[in-house]
Amino acid sequence: MAFVRIRRLKILQISSASSFGGGERYVADLTNSLAARGHDVYVAVRPNSPLPRHLQLPAERVLTLPLRNALDVPSAYELERFVRRQRIDVVHAHMARDYSLASYAARRNRGTKFIATRHVLFQLNRLHRHTLARATRVIAVSGAVARELRAQRILRDEQIALIPNGVDVDRFNRACVEKNRGLLVGSIGELRTLKRHDDFIRAAARVASRSPETQFVLAGVDASALGEVRKQLEGLVVDLGLSDRFRFLGWVEDAEKLLCEMDVFVSASETESFGLAIVEAMAAETAVVATATEGAQEVIDDQKTGLLVPIGDVDRIAGAVTELLANPQKRREMAVRAKEVANTRFSLKRMVDEIERIYLTADDAD
């Protein structure tokens, strides 16, 4: 078989994120994978961004700019100069407020492709009809996101590329040696009201009354200005008498190790565009109970690779968790099937292969 050499590209990733969640994990994994394949990758971030510490790049490859909002003209000018100076082939933006800055930087440099990834289900506004008009492709991380983009009619169908999210399954294979000896139920996700961690805590109280040996954990950072979400959740734990059995872990550097320790992972969210933490739990061979968000329904085959329950139904969440804790064989078989799906359908390699192909072969929008 003849060896096909991939053209080395100069790529600029742009993310103005101020916290680290699923979208930022996507940027970090994509960046590191592309760099490992021999591409010259640069990343533009805000000051104090959490992204650089997750990047396997030399410091000079990280460009720090204000990236205040979609109308940040000085940042747009600086990005345009950087793209021209470095002869960047691809500018790839990951947050809606960065799309206009990336579009300007690419438009002013002939031959530079503008790619955007849409990570969420929220609607775009009229400004984006203009800024995304020149996008070579807009990547939807799930079928739900692709359907939402088509429904908004901001983009032409040929601009939308469905590339489901991927996780580094090898990272979980290395981390997961054996489970803990006790029973552990947990969740991972930013402490935001949309994640409905209060429903998880209420369900934990019901599970605790039926399974006295079970412990509970919640990992994630409170992005609110005064930390009020965590305070409310901590108060709920006290009110429900769970103080001795429920731990808040805050930011967890090695989330894969925590997921491997869990017997059941719970996602109680009211909306998920994809559900990256769900797929990571599947990759960790951990049984999953998730509310039936659009994203969860896309990755979980109910009763086979996880259990889906109605959004907001605390009793059903608790019942599903209790069922899995009481039936180790079912829990194990479900977790094994889930890991197989994560390895085959949602690998990071597959995701990066498809994005790299767009970088190399997709035609410009105009």
Each residue's pLDDT tens digit in the chain (366 positions)?
A: 444 457 899 999 999 999 888 899 999 999 999 999 999 999 999 999 999 999 999 999 999 999 999 999 999 999 999 999 999 999 999 999 999 999 999 987 888 999 999 999 988 888 888 899 889 999 999 999 999 999 999 899 999 999 999 999 888 888 776 666 679 999 999 999 999 999 999 999 999 999 999 999 999 999 787 889 999 999 999 999 999 999 999 989 889 999 999 999 999 999 999 999 999 999 999 999 999 999 999 999 999 999 999 999 999 999 999 999 999 999 999 999 999 999 999 999 999 999 999 999 987 654
Where does 108-227 have alpha helices with state H?
A: 126-131, 143-152, 169-175, 197-210
How many helices (H) and strands (E) in the chain? 14, 13
Q: Using alpha carbons, select from 19, 22, 65 the residue that is nearest to residue 43.
A: 65
Q: Using alpha carbons, select from 45, 87, 39, 88 the residue that is nearest to residue 64.
A: 45
Residue type (1 letter), 40? D
pTM of the model: 0.89
Neighbours of 166 (CB within 10 A): 26
Give the Cα separation of 205 and 226 in Å (integer): 27
Domains of the chain, first to last:
10-166+347-361 (3.40.50.2000), 169-345 (3.40.50.2000)
Q: Hey, what's the torsion of the CAs at 284, 287, 292, 297, to 10 degrees?
A: 60
Give the Cα separation of 187 and 280 in Å (integer): 11
Give the Cα separation of 297 and 282 in Å (integer): 14
Give residue for tokens 């399974």. Answer: 211
